[in-house]
Structure 1
Amino acid sequence: MTDSAPTPATATAAPGHTVTAVPVTRMGNGHDVELTVHRVTGARPGPTLVAFGGVHGDEAMGPEEVRRLVSSVDPAELSGTVVAVPVANPYAYDAMCRFTPQDGLNLNRIFPGDRNGSVTEQLAAVLAEIMLEGDYFIDFHSAGLYSTVEYAYVMDDGVDMATGFGSPLLYHHAPYEGTSNAWAIKNGIRSTVCELGGGGQLTDAFLDKAVRRGRNMLKAIGMLDGEPEALAAPQTVLTELVTLRPTKGGAVISHFGPDRLGEVVKGGTVIGEVVDPYTFEVVEQLLAPYDSSILVLTRESYTRTTPGDYGFMVGNADTATTLDALFTG
């Protein structure tokens, strides 16, 4: 299903965990923008995995997932190197905002950036340079402030990563232009995206999954010894995935909480309703769009919303497939 694995690199640094600051630019307020980069060098030669978190500042699970995964890796057990940027967009992370407040740009739509551009463009340029160190790349995302998600991307050249990571739901599609994964693919770097957790719901459970699945992925690509945990069932690969966005603001009353992620519901099922908090009127219903709709992103029973916000994400179960079927025809 995949090409041969990258040729292991030769270890040139002593085993250990180092932390460095990589300069990006200087702001008008006198603050220096820099990226904190962790490097775990293994005791044995092997490939390099680059990991990002916090590309979107409202997805606070990503940085913590990176922190816990990196902290779980003992250099003595590692073959190769893990290079991690836990907070890829410091200003967006500080503002708890999807976009960088200073220029309003989405960091994950402008790779490989521009060293002569705005702050987000310069962040992308430095991150793109860091990515070029890698044989493998994983971008840790989550849902935002009010929603919770669980799936991973499977790229044509990153099947071993997606299989090893072991998310029950996978999404296969061409990467969006300007994303970190589009840049990875362009440069021959195997990649995946983890979409896990968010919204302050089931936090410990999702963080535990991130570490366990991340270590399974490292085993699958030969950076840790041992076999990945056996999956309880074959992974479901979605090829159709839509986001249900409220067109009106107010309160979302969800009928399917985060504990029901992965569940299949019938088309036309009311997944959630937008309620006017002033009049108590139901002003909008969000319906399952497919005959068989798989819940990929959902919300707790009550959350706030604005027009165009992420409400729910659902996949089409009727066009879903398996990895074997997808890549062997």
Structure 2
Amino acid sequence: MARPSTVSTNIDFDKPGKQTGFFNIPHSPHEDAWGATRIPLCVIKNGEGPTAILMSGNHGDEYEGPITLGEIIRDLDPGMVSGRLILLPALNLPAALAGRRTSPVDGLNLNRTFPGDPIGSLTQQITAYVSDHIYPLGDAMLDLHSGGSSLDILPSAIIEPAPTAEHRQRNVAAVLAFDAPLTVVIDNLGDPRTSTATSVRAGLTTVGTEMAGSGTVSHVALDICRRGVRNVLAHLGILPPAPGSERRHADQAILRIPGPPGYVFATTEGVFEGEHRLGTMVEAGQVAGRIHNLREPWRPPEVLHYEADGMVYGRRQPGRVTPGNCCVVVAARYEGEL
């Protein structure tokens, strides 16, 4: 049952055709006594078929997803659709306009606030509306991420774990249909407050992505994202298969981040020098990098080591680090049940 909410929208989710507009959240900062934050929303509906929710801009410094969804909104002929698309191309609009991972309004990471609070801060109200009003309309959800301004990540499609074999198989099939160069199981250390974990709890077939990062736009990752989204929509039966859409990565191994040992964290302040490029196979105990001390340059660098075997999947982009910053992420071969 949906919680009471002050959010409003000019979109009729059941109306055929293409509609663009907003959902509006009352917001009363110093500059605007009776204002509203307007989150862009598009619905494309035609005929019978499933509903897919396409989300990006969850973090405001991740760009391949918003570009891809903007293109779909502008270019997709509703007559090609069998079912319904609900597109949220800049879900965390304040963060997207600021180019930041977190909202400049309340400082929150939207992807750690699900299922939200309809009377909470602005970010919490956004996730409450998605959880209570958008997810119940859907059969599937795609959340398009990249590494943002702090990480560079190998372009990949992400499997969100699910509690039942049937749901896991739905998620895996949709993620493999995306056909990214890598497929990785990521559970965010079991955090239930993410968009994908909440989508799974709602019963939706769920697909995530990590499309490069470094706070810029990768042409390679953008092409993967464009093609992958359409592949998943074809897999769901919402769009017809595109010519030449045969899987390019059918024989790939599925990887996973092996819990806390998969992350190499900074232990001191300084400048991080990574030891290996993305895609390098490494072993636990190997040197992962060094942190150079700028305050006392006569001190030897602090040496960091890997705690897991696997592939270098992500690397910190800014050189400056403080204790606790994620410097390197390792992904290992997935050996669990799918």
Following superposition, the deviation at residue 103 of structure 1 comes to: 2.5
Hey, what does 2:321 align to over in structure 1?
305
Hey, what does 1:284 align to over in structure 2?
302
1:38 to 39, 42, 54: 42
Counterpart of 2:193, as a letter, is G
Following superposition, the deviation at residue 66 of structure 1 comes to: 2.8
Counterpart of 2:40, as a letter, is T
Following superposition, the deviation at residue 33 of structure 1 comes to: 0.9
Pairs within 5 Å for 1:47-66: 47-66=50-69
Task: Decide whether the 8 Å contact of 1:170 with 1:238 is kept in 2.
Answer: yes
Task: Decide whether the 8 Å contact of 1:24 with 1:126 is kept in 2.
Answer: no
For residues 16-68 of structure 1, give each alpha carbon's deviation from its aligned partner in whole angstroms, at most 9, with x where no partner exists: x32111111213221421211022224x4211111111212233443224324
| Deviating more after overlay: 62-71 vs 74-83 | 62-71
For residues 166-202 of structure 1, give each alpha carbon's deviation from its aligned partner in whole angstroms, at most 9, with x where no partner exists: 2323215485212222322222211121111110467
Task: Decide whether the 8 Å contact of 2:63 with 2:217 is kept in 1.
Answer: no
CA gap of 1:236–1:27, structure 2 versus 1, over 3 A, is same
Task: Decide whether the 8 Å contact of 2:114 with 2:127 is kept in 1.
Answer: yes
Query: Unaligned stretches of 5+ in structure 1?
Result: 1-10
For residues 192-244 of structure 1, give each alpha carbon's deviation from its aligned partner in whole angstroms, at most 9, with x where no partner exists: 21111110467111111101111111121112223852243234132614222
1:255 to 275, 285, 304: 275
CA gap of 1:97–1:239, structure 2 versus 1, over 3 A, is closer
Hey, what does 1:8 align to over in structure 2?
none
Query: Unaligned stretches of 5+ in structure 2?
Result: 1-12
| In structure 1, C-alpha distance between the alignment counterparts of 2:190 and 2:238, rounded to whole Å | 26
| In structure 2, C-alpha distance between the alignment counterparts of 1:64 and 1:79, rounded to whole Å | 23
| In structure 2, C-alpha distance between the alignment counterparts of 1:287 and 1:202, rounded to whole Å | 30
Residue 197 of structure 1 aligns to a residue whose secondary structure is coil
Task: Decide whether the 8 Å contact of 1:114 with 1:125 is kept in 2.
Answer: yes
Please say if 1:20 is aligned against 2:9: no
Counterpart of 1:152, as a letter, is A
1:238 to 256, 265, 273: 256
Task: Decide whether the 8 Å contact of 1:58 with 1:145 is kept in 2.
Answer: yes
Counterpart of 1:264, as a letter, is M
Q: Percent identity?
A: 25
Following superposition, the deviation at residue 83 of structure 1 comes to: 0.9
CA gap of 1:272–1:48, structure 2 versus 1, over 3 A, is same
2:282 to 250, 262, 265: 265
CA gap of 1:235–1:78, structure 2 versus 1, over 3 A, is farther
Hey, what does 2:175 align to over in structure 1?
162
| Deviating more after overlay: 58-67 vs 191-200 | 58-67
| Deviating more after overlay: 141-150 vs 210-219 | 141-150
Please say if 1:326 is aligned against 2:337: yes
- Residues paired across the two proteins, number: 305
Please say if 1:293 is aligned against 2:310: yes
Please say if 1:88 is aligned against 2:91: yes
1:114 to 110, 117, 127: 117
CA gap of 1:72–1:56, structure 2 versus 1, over 3 A, is same
Residue 291 of structure 2 aligns to a residue whose secondary structure is strand
| In structure 1, C-alpha distance between the alignment counterparts of 2:226 and 2:40, rounded to whole Å | 20
2:78 to 61, 75, 81: 75
| Deviating more after overlay: 231-240 vs 275-284 | 275-284
TM-score by length of 1: 0.82
Task: Decide whether the 8 Å contact of 2:16 with 2:44 is kept in 1.
Answer: no
1:152 to 157, 166, 177: 157
Task: Decide whether the 8 Å contact of 2:184 with 2:331 is kept in 1.
Answer: no
CA gap of 1:298–1:191, structure 2 versus 1, over 3 A, is same
Following superposition, the deviation at residue 287 of structure 1 comes to: 2.3
Counterpart of 2:264, as a letter, is L
| In structure 1, C-alpha distance between the alignment counterparts of 2:63 and 2:326, rounded to whole Å | 16
Task: Decide whether the 8 Å contact of 2:62 with 2:215 is kept in 1.
Answer: no
